[in-house]
A and B are shown apart, each in its own frame.
Chain A
Amino acid sequence: MTRTGFVTANLFRKKTRTILTLLSVVMAFLLFGLLQSLDHAFSAGADFVGATRLMTQARVSYTQALPLSMKPKLESVPGVARVTYSQWFGGVWQTNTQIFTFSVEPSSYHDVYPEWVMPEEQWRAFANIRTAMVAGKLTADKFGWKVGQKIPLSSNIYPQKDGSKAWAFDLVGIYDGKDDAWKKQATQVFINHDYFDEANLFGKGHTNFFILKLAADGNPEAISKTIDTMFENSPDETKTQTEKEFNLEFIKQLGDIGLMVRWILFAVFFTLLLVVGNTMAQSVRERVPELAVLKTLGFSDGSVLGFVLAESVALCLIGGLIGLGLATLLGGMVEQATGGQFMLPVDAFVWTVGIATIIVMSLAVGLLPALRAQRLKIVDALAGR
């Protein structure tokens, strides 16, 4: 019998016990995978934002609009290559579905966001047709929108000149992300700012954000400081930060969900430690005479320790991998069921943390029983003392 075979045979000598313990481990890691993914989404924000872009908003809050007259001033700051802007429209589809709709300047937006991919003639149509709108592929697919359709979209903020909040736009293009990470984000809808600015009842020449693309040698920190100093003590004081910082700040607003998730993870692992630890301790206790026989036969103390440790590692590893696998499946199902609205990606990061946890866990629960097995005195053990 090989050593592996020996460990496996020992593991399954009490089938019920091993399977039940295994199932507990599976459940724990299923939860671990899902929660870790949730926590990661809350704490890490959008890692995919690779390009260095700065976002300039009103210091008091991005809901306070800034005047478009700031744009040339921002463009003149050394290190700033291109400036675009976007304004929250408060889009609502049909009765109650919020759509992330921004009013933007098409040509500069295209330059600043090369990550959004769409045929050039659609970009041109977006810039040239005043009532144009472009939609992310995910959103267009979800609602069955086709290029060429007139899309009725109301705003929960802006009435038109006639007082009506029911707007309609011509869908001239559907954009997608340049890679997988960006494809998953292709949900926003953009409308032409020229038209919006003219047709809405109030607030001429304003925007919520300026988005700045930096020159290759542009230092984000220095540029942010220059800009914010430039507008200091004016009614339109600014706050400039990188896009990544902005996204992090945005997601942190959701609040203390991350904190709860970490508490739950702690509770789950404390429990699991006890469950598996107890199983391992029990199984060593029952096998004391056998282990003594092994030692009598000439197995070293070290290899006896190895046998017991291998069992706990195997138990945690099998259970843990199945659990993480299930979490990956379930996370994917959630994403599909909610049409990409709610993402629970059990990705490489979660797997890495998961596997590290499995290893720490199996050593933590296996070490005490294994040490006990190693230290057994043959005579005492055989005599049942």
Chain B
Amino acid sequence: MLKQISAITAINIKSIPERWASSLVIVVGLAGVVAVFTALLAMGAGFESTLKASGRADEAMVMRGGSDAEVNSGLDRDSDDLIEQAPGIRSGPDGKRLASAEMMVIAELVRKNDIKNGFNITLRGVEPAAFALRPDLKLVEGRNFTPGLRELIVGRGVTRQFQGAEPGKIVRMRGSDWTVVGVFESGDAYESELWADLNVVRTTFARNGSSSVLVALDGAGGFDKLKQSLSADPRLTVDVIRQQDYFSGQTKQFRQTIGVLAGVVTAIMALGAIFAALNSMYAAVATRSKEIATLRAIGFGGLPVLASVMIEALLLALVGGIIGALLAYVLFNNLSVATLGQNFTQVVFGFKITPALVVRGLIISILIGMIGGFLPALRATRLPVVESLRAA
């Protein structure tokens, strides 16, 4: 039996070059489905991993109660001080508490492929502890801003996607000039931001206090200690949330949107590909009907014929799937894009084609190959031997 299957399959596959056009339909069709599926989900995966990387479990954010996002939150200076003095916060090597009151405001920059439309960019005014609280953040170009001066450092994502934020450039905000003095990389959502000295941001934007306070938690019990003490304080109405939870909470909606888009698009494309595959395999069986009948006449069983057609379809589908995944990888992996995040500002992130996504894509291509191959394979086994031999 196995011998028969391999014999017929070998004949089939060797004859593919003669029928290359219709075989190509399956390969290209599946390549399209898998490429689109993988690329779409890679967009979701990239966004998710960028935000996930931004959050640490051993740090917490304090915002005004019921704010959901930093952009909506506002704390006055007294609250900042109360929060920074609360228990449960770890101290740095210099003995100072690791806490940074941060003011998030929105500025506009123009995208590189655009001429005039402004895009919302986060400008974050930070205290010195902000850098110790984000150990992954590294200055890669220029120098840090000087406290008290209107100087900015910008994330790599910003320089990648937006105009006028390279070192040496001047960004105009609220009637004053800000000099870009450095570029930082952090591999997370902070890379999509402009950073400056907190007090300079406060005076320029005529605001007091901060949007949030980021603190390092003191050991496992730190979070509960901090939360308890802050909620017990009648002078404060704040939410305390682990930084990790804050960021992973933001990915849900985007992931769902991309998931639905990928699902619908892939389902429709897959149906189209199944019809195309059926077509090609029916044609393949039809052109070989005489050959199949001959094999049946000399004693080959129905099952080997069925298997051979199925294997051919699966093989073509798999080749298509692999080409599709490769295509998605070459065209889209690490491609930098931007979208609106929770704070109503742009988050720059890269597509991320993960092995798991590729495997899912290949599974889809194999499924389509099976469906597209089965009916034609069935017809091949049922060909009336005598008539097929007589025909043509």
Contacts and interface: CB of A to CB of B under 8 A. Distances in A.
B22 interface: yes
A23 B273 CA distance: 10
Interface size band for B: 35 or more
B66 A165 contact: yes
B105 interface: yes
B28 A61 contact: no
A64 B120 contact: no
Interface stretch (A171-179, A259-267, A304-312): A259-267
Contacts of A232: 175
Interface string B196-207: 000000001110
Contact of A270 (B32, B204, B205, B338): B32
B269 A27 contact: yes
B29 A61 contact: no
Interface string B40-70: 1001000000000000000000001111110
Contacts of B159: none
Contacts of B119: 252-253
A59 to B, nearest CB: 8
Contact of B72 (A59, A157, A234, A254): A157
Contact of B268 (A20, A27, A239, A253): A27
A275 B338 contact: no
Contacts of B280: 278
Contact of A17 (B64, B107, B279, B338): B279
Contact of B279 (A21, A60, A159): A21
A21 B272 CA distance: 9
A263 B39 contact: yes
Interface residues of A, number: 57
A131 interface: no
Given A90-B72, A255-B338, A268-B269, A24 B175 contact: no
Contacts of B68: 156
Interface stretch (B90-98, B298-306, B339-347): B339-347
B346 A255 contact: yes
B265 interface: yes
B264 to A, nearest CB: 8
Interface string B4-28: 0000000000000000011011001
B71 interface: yes
A270 B25 CA distance: 10
Contacts of B25: 274-275, 278
A248 B119 CA distance: 11
A267 B340 CA distance: 26
A270 B175 contact: no
B32 A271 contact: yes
B173 to A, nearest CB: 5
Interface string B297-336: 0000000000000000000000000000000000100000
Contacts of B172: 59, 237
Nearest to B264: A34
A24 B337 CA distance: 32
Contact of B35 (A157, A237, A267, A275): A267
B256 interface: no
A61 B105 contact: yes
B384 interface: no
A163 B79 CA distance: 14
A235 interface: yes
A235 B175 contact: yes
Main secondary structure of the interface of A (DSSP, over half): helix
Given A260-B39, A264-B265, A278-B21, A253 B340 contact: yes
B106 interface: yes
B117 A27 contact: no
Nearest to B340: A253
A58 B339 CA distance: 22
B340 A255 contact: yes
A237 B275 contact: no
A281 interface: yes
B151 to A, nearest CB: 17
A30 B264 CA distance: 11
A61 B175 contact: no
A90 to B, nearest CB: 6
A17 B108 contact: no
B282 interface: yes
A140 B119 CA distance: 32
Interface of B: 21-22, 24-25, 28-29, 32, 35-36, 39-40, 43, 64-69, 71-72, 74, 105-108, 114, 117-120, 172-175, 204-206, 237, 264-265, 268-269, 271-273, 275-276, 278-280, 282-283, 331, 337-340, 344, 346
Given A24-B276, A267-B35, 17 more contacts: A17-B282, A20-B278, A23-B272, A35-B265, A61-B118, A64-B106, A156-B68, A232-B175, A252-B119, A253-B346, A260-B43, A268-B269, A270-B28, A271-B272, A274-B24, A275-B272, A279-B279
- Which 10 pairs show the lowest CB-CB distances between chains A and B? A27-B272, A255-B339, A61-B106, A256-B337, A271-B32, A20-B279, A23-B275, A249-B117, A63-B106, A267-B32
14 contacts: A16-B279, A21-B275, A21-B279, A24-B275, A31-B268, A34-B268, A63-B106, A154-B66, A252-B119, A255-B346, A259-B337, A272-B272, A274-B29, A275-B279
